[in-house]
Amino acid sequence: MAGPVAPRLVEVARWLWISSACIGMVRFVAQLFDREMLVAEARRQNPELGQDQIDAGVNGGILFGLLIATAVLLAYTRLANAMARGRNWARIVLTVLGAASVAYGLFRLVAWASGAAESVGVEMTGTDLGVTFVTTVLEASAVVLMWRVSAHFRRSVAVDSATPRT
């Protein structure tokens, strides 16, 4: 049994959430497959480890990272689909996650623009900045759009007509 059709703005918000999660996952996976950087970072943090230990640690980290990225993508997709079906709890969860993500994205962009990131040794590539900007805009837009259509999230209340009114 199909539920009510979601308003256009809610459908757009749903696809913005899913798109943002996909873009974030692609960036994360691309970073995971920069094996040379991961090995260099592992060697810098643990110079006493041998190459076999570093390789095992990097391989385990890549596998764990892929599992986490997949879980996050699935969670965002399920939340976005529940929100599109009119579930208010999903809209609230997405709002909290979106607000945190937008705040973090704005913090990263301001830290880069002010030079604060570089002064503390945080390196941000052009790709990182571009993806941060795009996902921040997508998520801010999704939050705004999904709150513009409140009637879709109201529960209909059944009235018992057999009860006499006084």
Q: Where are the domains of the chain?
A: 8-152
Residue 81 identity: N
Contact between 25 and 69 under an 8 Å Cβ cutoff? The reply is: yes
Percent of the residues in the chain that have a pLDDT greater than 70, as a whole number: 89
Percent of the residues in the chain that have a pLDDT greater than 90, as a whole number: 51
Quick one: tokens of 136? Answer: 């921040």
pTM passes above 0.85: no
Name the average pLDDT for the chain: 87
Q: How many helices (H) and strands (E) does the chain have?
A: 6, 0
Q: Which regions of the chain are under pLDDT 50?
A: 1
Residue 59 identity: N
